[in-house]
Structure 1
Amino acid sequence: MYQRVFRWVVVFVLTSMAWATGRPAIACDVPAPVKSIDPPGFYDDAAGYANAVKPMRGFIAQLNKSAETGQWSCALDLLTGWARADALMGPIKGYQGYYERSWAGTDFAMVILRMPSAVKAANADKFAIIDPWLERIAIATRDANAINHLHNNLVYWAGLNLVAIGTVTNQSDLIDSGLIRAREGINDIGPDGALAREVKRGNRALHYHTFALLPLVFTAELVQRRHIDLYQENDHAIARLANLVIDAVRDPASFAKITPIKQDLFPWTFQDELSWMEPYYAHTRDPRLPALIAPRRPFNEWRLGGDVTAAWGVSLR
């Protein structure tokens, strides 16, 4: 009899977990927390950089896959495990680590933002651990002089970090700090859609225009729920930058009007770093975009919660 009761209890618990997460419960191994993220610069030591970020990127890949497959119990275990260890909050001696921590915190928040409200409500105890950790990441990003002095795309990414985490934790001061950074980017966009600081990147100028557009679009999307329309600011500047990039995707030679320097692109520049097109198309229904989006789907950007198409995409028409 006791064995039957025990089996019934196990079935009940597993069924309840499946109902709460939307998927059957699975085992979830939490990787050892990365205490401090302090790699060499991306351009300084490519091999050393790749090796140093591998553990953190592995964690993010596991977290994003859990979100993509609806394994919310696993996603929460991952976040709670690293939050308890205050992961990524150790000292940084170089500069690249500040960027990596900012991007990681953005990803964590974007995963949570796609989490069903019922799951969040049922796990308030875990968010009591996760939220303060995310706030510490955001505050460290806000106060990072290694980012703030640059006044370029990394500042815009820091703005998205602050807005995303502020939205998750309902901290308006973080959102306000993020808006300052996003507006710096929007005000940097010239009449021709170019960003003067990114033009100075020489043969990587087009890549960095694309990379800069990502956080501006996603920040604009997130603050709409606060009735803030960043799309219309600086005379619809985000659209000017988007048009510049769209033209370059359709005809890379068109970027010669911005700089005569021949452009070199990373393999991901015109693939996953075009994931801004998903929310932008949903917002604008720009008729040029379906032909660019369709062959590239699904967009998967590790800084933005993984499968951007699943989270933000709409039917193309």
Structure 2
Amino acid sequence: MSLYPTKFRKMSQTSAVILLFVSFFALNGSALGQSRSGNDGPLRYIFDLRAVDSDDAGQQTPRFVCGSNVRPMTDMGHFFSFYKPTSTQSVIDPKAMNAFAHRAWPTWVVMAKLLAAVNAGATSHANRQAAANCITQQLISWAKQDALLGNLDENDLLGRRQAVMISGWTAVGLANAYAFATQASPHSDGADRIISPWFQRLSDRLVSEFAPPAAPRPHQYQWLDDNNNVRDWAGASVGLLSVQLQDRTKFDWAMTILHNALDLAPDDGALPRELGRGRRASHYQNFAMQALSYLVALADANNVALSDLQEKRLEAIARFSAEAYQSPKLVEARTGYAQEDLKPEMVSWIDIILPHIRKRDEALAHELEEIARPLRPLSDTFVALPTTVFFNGTTDKGN
């Protein structure tokens, strides 16, 4: 059976999402608030560095150089959308995008730095210690400044959601990088005492942002409570941070996001909120699938089972997302909008989800493998994770 009653799926998405989360918060500390994982030990991360084969055995490996710390982004006030006010929210306003890029630039730079460190350390034992130290020092510098949390109240509802999600997306990369660092090298309690409270504040802010509103939002903002890729990413961020914090209440919150997303998904896997995004429908369909792949990997790592119906819907979302990447004309025919070209990293989720899919649907796993193989090595540069390295067991393109 599905985790949620059938009647929830007959409601509007906004009503269903709000009711489900009211249930979570009301019952926190009872059966729903307790961990649904089958693992009573420590929460486990989505990857295990011990399973990664480095490629430098007997070879001379270029030395990893960390460089200076990226300055922390602290001011999250007065954010805005970079889309023109169209019905699809898919037409980028160049002036707004330039301003947005200027504001968010430190997060993109720090993700590039962390990805370089993770990749260097994961693929070379010789560089592992230096990469781990680099990551830890970078995170300490941001934690000491309470990065990504300042002036959030200096936003309207849309700007606040944008600012909180910049924090959330960045936090996924921070968690990935710190998971690598703590697995690669014993870390000091001193680093944890600085970084963990910051991670706690970041996750608290995300949970608060997606709590049901005390009163109905103004009509133009009611979409903020819908089931969409942003909510999925919030779940992924809180879930990954919960492992670093060993916080089972936060972990359960993330699993509620996952179950909710699959319970409310259509049987054909075409996510309605994402398909409503005009020429960027394929982009956002795959963007949502990326977030779901992290949540599923987190569930698998901690023995959280999906219902048969949820498994079927997950497979449908994966299949449709892959089709949207491979055959944009199919999405164009369905939406009426020619689709923008997608970069290969938009299907980096394939490496993450394949271990799960292989256990249930060999045919779908084969289809996904055929898409990913010529694109490897894949990396999710958005959140600092070389996905092929950690989930496909190889650093060689085409393997």
Give the TM interval when normalised to the shorter protein: 0.7 to 0.9
Q: Is residue 107 of structure 2 the alignment partner of residue 53 of structure 1?
A: no
Matches within 5 A, 1:235-274: 235-255=311-331, 259-268=334-343, 271-274=344-347
Aligned to 2:227: 151
Shift of 1:41: 1.7
Q: Is residue 216 of structure 2 the alignment partner of residue 165 of structure 1?
A: no
Is the Cα–Cα contact under 8 Å of residues 112 and 381 in structure 2 kept in the other structure?
Answer: yes
Aligned to 2:117: 66
Distance 1:273 1:229 in 2: 26
Distance 2:329 2:373 in 1: 22
Aligned to 2:127: none
Shift of 1:100: 0.6
The residue type equivalent to 1:113 in the other structure is: A
Aligned to 1:90: 150
Aligned to 2:353: 280
Distance 1:217 1:188 in 2: 16
Distance 1:235 1:26 in 2: 43
Q: Secondary structure at the match of 1:129?
A: helix
Shift of 1:260: 4.1
Decide whether aligned partners of structure 1 residues 24 and 236 sit closer, same or farther in structure 2, where only a CA change above 3 A counts. same
Shift of 1:266: 4.8
Shift of 1:311: 2.1
TM-score if structure 1 supplies the norm length?
0.83
Give the counterpart of 2:180 among 91, 108, 114.
114
Shift of 1:281: 2.1
Decide whether aligned partners of structure 1 residues 233 and 174 sit closer, same or farther in structure 2, where only a CA change above 3 A counts. farther
The residue type equivalent to 1:124 in the other structure is: D
Matches within 5 A, 1:283-298: 283-285=356-358, 286-298=365-377
Shift of 1:36: 2.1
The residue type equivalent to 2:113 in the other structure is: Q
Decide whether aligned partners of structure 1 residues 86 and 233 sit closer, same or farther in structure 2, where only a CA change above 3 A counts. farther
Q: Secondary structure at the match of 1:36?
A: coil
Shift of 1:192: 1.2
Aligned to 2:169: 103
Distance 1:266 1:290 in 2: 20
Q: Is residue 108 of structure 2 the alignment partner of residue 33 of structure 1?
A: no
Distance 2:391 2:73 in 1: 29
The residue type equivalent to 2:200 in the other structure is: E
TM-score if structure 2 supplies the norm length?
0.67
For each residue in 1:201-250, what CA deviation from the matched residue of structure 2 results, as whole angstroms up to 9, or x when unmatched? Answer: 23322221111111111111012122112474525211011111222333
Decide whether aligned partners of structure 1 residues 231 and 34 sit closer, same or farther in structure 2, where only a CA change above 3 A counts. farther
Decide whether aligned partners of structure 1 residues 300 and 313 sit closer, same or farther in structure 2, where only a CA change above 3 A counts. same
Is the Cα–Cα contact under 8 Å of residues 276 and 335 in structure 2 kept in the other structure?
Answer: no
Shift of 1:184: 2.1
Aligned to 1:133: 198
Unaligned runs of 5+ in 2: 1-60, 85-95, 122-130, 211-220, 359-364
Q: Secondary structure at the match of 1:134?
A: helix
Is the Cα–Cα contact under 8 Å of residues 102 and 158 in structure 1 kept in the other structure?
Answer: yes
Equivalences, count: 292
Shift of 1:111: 1.5
Pairwise CA RMSD: 2.5
Distance 1:209 1:190 in 2: 13
Q: Secondary structure at the match of 1:114?
A: helix
Distance 2:300 2:270 in 1: 24
Deviates more, 1:213-222 or 1:277-286: 277-286
Unaligned runs of 5+ in 1: 1-21
Aligned to 1:9: none
Identity %: 21
Is the Cα–Cα contact under 8 Å of residues 210 and 274 in structure 1 kept in the other structure?
Answer: yes
